[in-house]
Amino acid sequence: MSADPFSEIIRLTKAQTVVSAVFSMGGPWSVRFPAFDYIKFFAVVKGVCWFTAEGEQEPLRVEAGDVVLFSQCRPFVVASDPALPPVEAASLLTGGFSGIARFGEGEDHVQIGGKIRLDPHAGALLADMLPPWIHARASSPQAPVLQWLLDQIVREREGELPGAGVASAQLAQLMFVQLLRAHMAQSQPDALPAGWLRALGDPRIAPALRLMHGDPARAWQLEELAHAVAMSRTTFATRFKAAAGVPPLTYLHNWRMRLAEQGLREGTTSLLALGLSLGYTSESAFSNAFKRSVGVSPKRYRDAAKAEAKSLPEASLSPA
């Protein structure tokens, strides 16, 4: 059985994309955004602007149809002219609004701002694969899909239609997926950090990844995975480690542990049943493997997760 590792990891990390605002600017303008503990993105619907991240000397020109995803927790400035002194974004959003926020005279520039929150426990699985920023240009092969999504988000927000918040969030989630696809398509394989994203971008390795994700409980052998992708055992092992950063069976073990963590945090399945579902023959075998990997027993991990869930309020997705 084959699977879609990309979708599984997006679900496991609970990536939630939210449109914070649609901005319409006129005349000269410059806005400074503070560092956030989540991933930010902005998309230019109309006009041209400059993106400058703190610590970077050269500003990035962003044109209509471009989308920029910024994954680092650093302040950044978006401006019509990078030489202009910026105003703080918080001062522009005082009082709240719906639909489109308008600043200045005219409508020279329209952009969508948003954020992607990841699960605090599993989010690193995705966040660690991202570069400081992704710039999907309007000239890229993925541009028509991104442009359609942008247009739909603006229509939802501008029309203040029933369910606009839900609809724009779903559209933004699709845009995030498309941005990751664009990043994979535009990057040279060796330029991506070793990990699952790079492995999925390797057409010779990706089928083996899909097999392991499709049946993580199976006692996969290196020989059968190599045979499935028509490679020798040695060549497959070398190429897989270069792409994924770890040997194939280590990757399988690590993925089982991520699934185990999710099951312990969110489910009520017994330790025996959870272990069996992940390919372990007994509760003790599962517990020993989990403790070696995570550092605590499954029972202690589950108890800690329950205590944390009771003490922390649900993460806010309010605009910012």
The verdict on 31 and 159 lying in the same domain is yes
Query: Counting every residue, how long is the chain?
Result: 320
The verdict on 182 and 89 lying in the same domain is yes
Q: What is the pLDDT of residues 44-63, one digit of tens each?
A: 989 999 999 887 778 999 99
The verdict on 177 and 270 lying in the same domain is no
Q: Find out whether 66 and 43 touch, Cβ atoms under 8 Å.
A: yes
| 3-class DSSP assignment, residue 309 | helix
Q: Find out whether 29 and 84 touch, Cβ atoms under 8 Å.
A: yes
In a domain, 7, yes or no: no
At 97 the pLDDT is 46
Q: CATH number for the domain including 129?
A: 2.60.120.280
Q: Which residues pair with 161 in a beta bridge?
A: none
At 318 the pLDDT is 41
| 138 vs 147: CA distance, rounded Å | 8
At 146 the pLDDT is 87
- The amino acid occupying position 73 is C
Helix or strand run (H / E) with residue 271: helix 271-277
Q: Which domain holds residue 180?
A: 13-186
The verdict on 202 and 179 lying in the same domain is no
Number of domains in the chain: 2
At 142 the pLDDT is 81
In a domain, 319, yes or no: no
In a domain, 6, yes or no: no
Name the stretches of the chain with pLDDT < 70.
Answer: 1-2, 92-100, 312-320
The verdict on 258 and 158 lying in the same domain is no
At 182 the pLDDT is 86
The verdict on 153 and 240 lying in the same domain is no
The verdict on 113 and 214 lying in the same domain is no
The verdict on 145 and 219 lying in the same domain is no
Q: What is the pLDDT of residues 256-305, one digit of tens each?
A: 999 999 999 998 899 999 999 999 999 999 999 999 999 999 999 999 99
Q: Which are the contacts of 298, defined by CB distance < 8 A and separation ≥ 6?
A: 260, 264, 271, 274, 286, 287, 290, 291
Sheet strands (E) in the chain = 16-25, 30-33, 39-46, 48-53, 60-63, 67-70, 76-79, 87-88, 100-103, 109-117, 133-136
**∠ CA(44), CA(49), CA(53), 5° rounding?**
100
Q: CATH number for the domain including 219?
A: 1.10.10.60
The verdict on 241 and 161 lying in the same domain is no
At 93 the pLDDT is 66
At 313 the pLDDT is 58
| Residue ending a domain, choose from 186, 219, 253 | 186
